[in-house]
Structure 1
């Protein structure tokens, strides 16, 4: 069998995997994924149909497997098996508690369809991979909180939460959730708050109760990255005087935290930021190099940093 037919066989098999894993697959998306023409994808789909695979759909719309059609378990390559082991280790350390148990049962199902040789591979190597997390996990006060949030996004239904703010105030919010993300050792969600009529960011471990309502979303939302750049539009100007010898270590993060200006002075580098995360994210980032920085403005940030340092020192 020549190289051309081997590539086609690999591609056709991969297309079948795509059909098994998604409700509908567009020919254009497959063409981009496998870097071939759309016409080639049409021929590959025809090859699957000729092999007896019942594919529903047609060129120009999308393809899916006929409802109820079952295929034998997918076989994994050695490289894929090794990636599963690494991903499982990461999930054990960094996943939210409400997701970890579900991932563990999912991995058990994956392991059940592996060849014996791959099962032996896992047994031999899983204890040789170490993932170290120095931030202890927070215990869940609510069972399945992230799955509940994700269900509300998928079903486009509002949720009602009780939330404890950074100042220990408790408020009730009716939300339309855009998405969730992990940052600075915590899980967050971005949602449209019907009380504030604006987008807000919430730390998930501060949610005291959550209820999925029957009320549908009142509007459509884009991807989470569209909102993370500007979660509420209320920006605070921050000016720091930073020791020049630490500047090189801030090259990537300083842009993320809203750097707008940077100039050299006799006493150091003066950096100006416009940030939406003045209450939480920015102070926690600043504390990582605070021994090399002075706050020029705003004045209240100095108090915020003092409070944060006091909290940290209690854990020492």
Structure 2
């Protein structure tokens, strides 16, 4: 980054933050503190009202705003495609905002940049062939959950689990303190503390059939950070499958989360999986047909036979 670009970037950082130390800016732009001092002095000499002193921190004078920033074609495409993504994936409120943002960005672009950004965008599309599209009902629940998170309100929902409990029931009513939302492999997941389980749980929005935001409020744990949060890995059961070697790529595409290792042998590829319960792989294994064989555990071999027998009866 050259000096001019760095000084402009420093002004933008100061506009976004109330107070920044020279050390923070030096780390951000990978330069020395002395260079930051010189940049601050140069900006001040240009008439930028920067307040502060070395060792304490710098800030822009309250009420000062930078003039509008121009965008290159690549920067405009980045923003416009981001707006496309927001419109497709988030709830209606943000969908309308995304449309408005797109119009504003296009309106302020110089004609050459606007035309170039159109040409670039025409060569790229956001497709969801291998991922589910966020449905209207899911977007509605997404909006309710998002507002509940911002207002720190508990939600009550009717939820359908992927796998049935020991009594065969898959449906339950939960009260959850919502902490955050994450888009995982095309599915919106609600992360929060479940009152029933008394622990943090993850709920797929597409499996919610009813959702209500309650008046009851909750306190967000001080040590919870969505950006740094990683769910515990509870995949403690192993599955061993023998497959034709040319099936490995397809298996990896469809069940990468579960795959642990692949070993090429004379009789084919031996693929090891780690799962919460073997039934999680059942529909994948059935879709792979006769090109794979479950070797372990025996319980999953029986489940596959049972499903195949049901299919034979129908055909």
Structure 1: distance between partners of 2:60 and 2:142? 30
- Structure 2 residue 246 is the aligned partner of structure 1 residue 245: yes
Structure 1: distance between partners of 2:12 and 2:284? 42
1:292–1:177 Cα change, 3 Å = farther
- Structure 2 residue 298 is the aligned partner of structure 1 residue 294: no
Task: Tell me the SS of whatever aligns to 1:49.
Answer: helix
Partner of 2:195: 194
- Structure 2 residue 41 is the aligned partner of structure 1 residue 46: yes
Partner of 2:313: none
Partners of 2:279 and 2:300 within 8 A in 1: no
Partners of 1:188 and 1:203 within 8 A in 2: yes
Structure 1: distance between partners of 2:244 and 2:128? 29
Of 108, 133, 137, the match for 2:133: 137
Residue-by-residue CA offset, 1:224-260 (whole Å, 9 max, x unaligned)? 46424x26x363333322323333566688774351x
Partner of 1:271: 271
Aligned pair count reads: 296
Mapping of 1:94-113 within 5 angstroms?
95-98=89-92, 99-113=94-108
Structure 1: distance between partners of 2:56 and 2:277? 43
> How high is the TM-score relative to the length of structure 1?
0.72
Mapping of 1:207-246 within 5 angstroms?
207=208, 208-211=210-213, 213-224=216-227, 226-228=229-231, 230=232, 233=234, 235-246=236-247
In terms of Rg, which structure is larger?
A: 2
Task: Tell me the SS of whatever aligns to 2:213.
Answer: strand
Partners of 1:149 and 1:177 within 8 A in 2: no
Partner of 2:204: 203
> How high is the TM-score relative to the length of structure 2?
0.72
Structure 2: distance between partners of 1:24 and 1:305? 66
- Structure 2 residue 73 is the aligned partner of structure 1 residue 78: yes
In structure 1, stretches of 5+ residues that fail to align are: 1-5, 311-316
1:289–1:55 Cα change, 3 Å = farther
Structure 1: distance between partners of 2:2 and 2:104? 29
Residue-by-residue CA offset, 1:245-287 (whole Å, 9 max, x unaligned)? 333566688774351x55455543333332348676x567667
Structure 2: distance between partners of 1:129 and 1:255? 26
